[in-house]
C-alpha cells in the first residue's frame, strides 16, 4: 500500500479499523468503522479471496464509507461500517463465524453486522450465537431473513423514479431493461419488472441462475459479450462494481442506469460527467440499493414490521427526485448530489448532538 493506513483513514475520514486474527479457525477479518455520528455502524460482512491484505483493507475502507452515506441519505439513525473476511468462501466453518462473532461482540454494539457477498443468513446464525450485534438472521430465529428482496424493491422504485425523470412518466410497460447479474437481488428485480410489463433481458455468467431466471420469468438471455450491442432503455447493473468506465461508456445504448451494484462508477466525477454529456440519467447506487439496509435497520431497532419497511423503501422514489433536482441546480453529478445531501444530514445531527 503506497499510502499508510492512517493516511487512508484520514483521507476517507474513518474513525476506527479493527484487524482480527485467529489462526485456529483461519479467521482474518477487518472491521472498518467509518462514522458513528448518526448511530452504531451497520454494514455487512463480505467474504472474499482477496489477492492481498491491502486489497482487503481498501475494500473495507471504501465500502464502510459508502454505508455511512447510504444510512444517512436513507434517514436512518445508523453510522457506516463494513467488514471483510479474507479467505475462500468455500472453506467457511462454524468455528470461523463464531470466532468472528466474538470479535464483533467485543465492540459492544459500535458495529452491527449483516450478510453481504458470500455470506448468508445461516452464517449470521452462527455469529448470533456469540453476539446480539448481528442482523439478517433467519426468520425462524426472529430475524428478517434475506434482505435482498427489499434491495430489489428499492432498485425497482429507483428505476421508476429515473424513468419519470427521463421520460416524464414512470410507466415501465414496454421499456427494454437489461439486468446484469441475476443473483439474490437481480432475480427479484426481474420479477418486479416483468410484473409491470417491461421487456426484460438478462445477462450473467452463472449457468444455473441463467436457466432458473429465463425459465421462471420467460425473459431473454444475452451473453456478457453481446450486451453492449443491445439498444435498451434502462441498464440495471446488479453484479459488479466499476461497470461504468472508459471502456463501457462509449458502448452504452441506454437512457437510464439504475441498479443494485455498489460503486458502479469507476471514477465518480469523470464517469458521472460523461453520462450527463450523453443524456443518460444515473441513479446513485448507494441511494437506490438501500432497501436491504432499511430492512436490517428495522430488524436491529426491534418491533420489525414488514409493511412499514416496504413503505420506507418506497421513499427512495422521492429521495431520488430530490437528488436529480440538486444535481441540476448545482450542476453536479447525481452521485455527488446524493453525497452532499447525506453529508448535510450528518453535519446537522452532529451539531444537534453537541448541544443541550
Active site residues: 82
Provide the binding-site residues for ligand NAD, judged by CB under 6 A: 117, 147-148, 151, 180-186, 203-206, 209, 224, 238-240, 260-262, 289, 292
The set of cell numbers assigned to 218 is 420467460
| Bridge partners for 221 per DSSP | 202
Nearest to 74 by CA among 258, 319, 252: 319
Pick 32 or 332: Cβ nearer ligand NAD: 32
Distance CA 264, CA 190 (A): 19
Residue 77 CA to residue 32 CA, distance in Å, equals 18
End-to-end Cα distance, the chain: 43
Nearer to ligand NAD, 99 or 149 (CB): 149
- Minimum CB–partner distance for residue 212 and ligand NAD (Å): 10
**Nearest approach, Cβ of 3 to ligand NAD (angstroms)?**
24
The sign of the torsion formed by the CA atoms of 292, 293, 295, 300 equals positive
Residue 219 grid coordinates: 425473459
- Smallest gap from Cβ 78 to ligand NAD, in A, equals 14
Least distance to ligand NAD, CB of residue 230, Å: 14
Q: Which is nearer to ligand NAD, 166 or 203 (CB)?
A: 203
Half-sphere exposure of 347 (CA within 13 A, CB side): 6
Sign of CA dihedral 284, 285, 291, 297: negative
What is the rounded distance in angstroms from the CA atom of residue 194 to the CA atom of residue 207? Answer: 21
DSSP string, 58-118: HHHHHHHHHHHHHHHHTT-S-EEEEEEEES-GGG--HHHHHHHHHHHHHTTTSEEB---TT
Q: Closest distance between ligand NAD and the C-beta of residue 293, in Å?
A: 7
Residue nearest to ligand NAD (CB): 183
Name which of 105 and 183 has its Cβ closer to ligand NAD: 183
Q: Name the packing angle between helices 334-354 and 268-277 (round to 10°).
A: 130
Which of 79/130 has CB closer to ligand NAD? 79
Contact 285, 304 (CB under 8 A): no
Cβ proximity to ligand NAD: between 124 and 332 the closer is: 124
**CB neighbours of 41 closer than 8 A, spacing ≥ 6?**
33, 34, 35, 64, 67, 68, 78, 79, 80, 81, 110, 111, 112
Give the nearest distance from C-beta 173 to ligand NAD in angstroms: 25
Amino acid at each position: 500500500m503506497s499510502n499508510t493506513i492512517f493516511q487512508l483513514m484520514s483521507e476517507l475520514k474513518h474513525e476506527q479499523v479493527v484487524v482480527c486474527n485467529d489462526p485456529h479457525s483461519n479467521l482474518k477479518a477487518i472491521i472498518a468503522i467509518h462514522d458513528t455520528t448518526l448511530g452504531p455502524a451497520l454494514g455487512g460482512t463480505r467474504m472474499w479471496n482477496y489477492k492481498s491484505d491491502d486489497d482487503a483493507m481498501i475494500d473495507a475502507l471504501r465500502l464502510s464509507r459508502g454505508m455511512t452515506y447510504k444510512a444517512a441519505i436513507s434517514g436512518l439513525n445508523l453510522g457506516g461500517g463494513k467488514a471483510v473476511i479474507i479467505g475462500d468462501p468455500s472453506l467457511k466453518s462454524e468455528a470461523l463465524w463464531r470466532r468472528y462473532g466474538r470479535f464483533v461482540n467485543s465492540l459492544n454494539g459500535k458495529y452491527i453486522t449483516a450478510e453481504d457477498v458470500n455470506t448468508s443468513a445461516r452464517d449470521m446464525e452462527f455469529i448470533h450465537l456469540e453476539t446480539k450485534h448481528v442482523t439478517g438472521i433467519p426468520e425462524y430465529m426472529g430475524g428478517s431473513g434475506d434482505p435482498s428482496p427489499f434491495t430489489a424493491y428499492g432498485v425497482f422504485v429507483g428505476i421508476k423514479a429515473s424513468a419519470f425523470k427521463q421520460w416524464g412518466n414512470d410507466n415501465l410497460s414496454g421499456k427494454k431493461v437489461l439486468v446484469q447479474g441475476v443473483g439474490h437481488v437481480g432475480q427479484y428485480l426481474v420479477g418486479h419488472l416483468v410484473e409491470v410489463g417491461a421487456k426484460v433481458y438478462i445477462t450473467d455468467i452463472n449457468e444455473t441462475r441463467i436457466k432458473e431466471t429465463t425459465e421462471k420469468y420467460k425473459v431473454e438471455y444475452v451473453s456478457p459479450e453481446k450486451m453492449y450491442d443491445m439498444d435498451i432503455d434502462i441498464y440495471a447493473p446488479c453484479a459488479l462494481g466499476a461497470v461504468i468506465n472508459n471502456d463501457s461508456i462509449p458502448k452504452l445504448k441506454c437512457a437510464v442506469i439504475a441498479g443494485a451494484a455498489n460503486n458502479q462508477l469507476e471514477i465518480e466525477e469523470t464517469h458521472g460527467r460523461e453520462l450527463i454529456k450523453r443524456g443518460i440519467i444515473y441513479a446513485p447506487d448507494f441511494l437506490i440499493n438501500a432497501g436491504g439496509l432499511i430492512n436490517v435497520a428495522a430488524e436491529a431497532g426491534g418491533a420489525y414490521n414488514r409493511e412499514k419497511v416496504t413503505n420506507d423503501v418506497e421513499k427512495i422514489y422521492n429521495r431520488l427526485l430530490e437528488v436529480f433536482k440538486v444535481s441540476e441546480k448545482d450542476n453536479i453529478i447525481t452521485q455527488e448530489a446524493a453525497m452532499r445531501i447525506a453529508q448535510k444530514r450528518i453535519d446537522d445531527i452532529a451539531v444537534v448532538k453537541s448541544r443541550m
